Structure 1
Amino acid sequence: MVQQRTERRYRQASLTDSLTGIGNRRSFVEDSENMLRHCQVQHRPVTLLLCDMDNFKQLNDRHGHQSGDHALVAFCDVTIMRLRKGDIFGRLGGEEFACLLPDTTTEAAYQMAERIRKEFASCSRVAGVSLSISIGVASSAEAGYVLDSLIALADKGLYEAKGLGKNRSVISQPI
């Protein structure tokens, strides 16, 4: 019994980002792949939001890593308040996060991305610096139910958002 609890605690720790308390990359990938298989069988739409904090390196360089940590936690707090039960949220690494939204059309996901983006920009200041986030949106309708394909397509939208001046959400279209 004690050994089972210990193993459970270690497993949970291995799946949790220690700074933000949300799922880490491993957790996000495992949960998302399970969700995608389930949604594919049931022909349910799934949309991915790929989020990247704007000017994060400059924040860390100018104000220190503690300020960067505060910014990451603030983004997670805003995002968690907007997500629904059943949505999957994880930190992929650094200042990059992803949300997998089952039963969500591209337009509904875009609206959610915009709510997250606007709320984060309006309420988040760290070390006197206004913070913003860029978000790429990709749907199973365009990318299928393969996580790597969804991430690649959302990444295309994310880089388009960055190229258009940051602090925006872009729905990515397949090439």
Structure 2
Amino acid sequence: MRQSRQYKSPNAAMMWSLVLPGLGQLYNKDYLIGFALIGLEFVVNLNSNLNLSLISTFIGDIHSAHHIINYSWGLFYPSIYGFAIWQAFNSAKANNDKMAGKEAERRTYFSGFFIGLVIGMDFGLFWHDSGFIIHHQATRFLDYPVFNGIVFGLILGFLGSIMENKVYRKSKAANYG
């Protein structure tokens, strides 16, 4: 698959996938999975009308943002997005370890964060029009499906990261203890 290995920045791979799912994989020269993720992103994005909902969100048209998005398709997007970023980062780290002649690590990085991000974004999309959000002025911006997904995703992502680090520390202490 890869003829010659060269250093790949895990942060650059993660940022490329942040821009568009699959670009980080292309950066890592994982062409098959990269093109598959780009294809999935376009299919889900077009069928969910996510970009149209984003435009409505940014111009402040809450009614249009709610009614234009297809939630049946939109709930797939966080999974594709989170997986693409996670996989690009971990693939670049594994590539660099192989290039340096190190044994492959059993540990993956940021798994808790990205699992929490995906679950939080799905919950945010699903619960964006709850009674609490609509009736409190301070949380009114969360009535937009996109903003609510991002906020819930980041909150659960950070909680997942904290939980992953605690579990990893405990398992590491148990191995050395």
Give your verdict on TM over 0.5. no
Structure number having the greater strand percentage: 1
**Structure 2-normalised TM-score?**
0.34
Structure number having the greater helix percentage: 2
Bigger relative contact order (CA 8 A; separation at least 6):
1
**Structure 1-normalised TM-score?**
0.35
Say which one has the larger Rg.
2
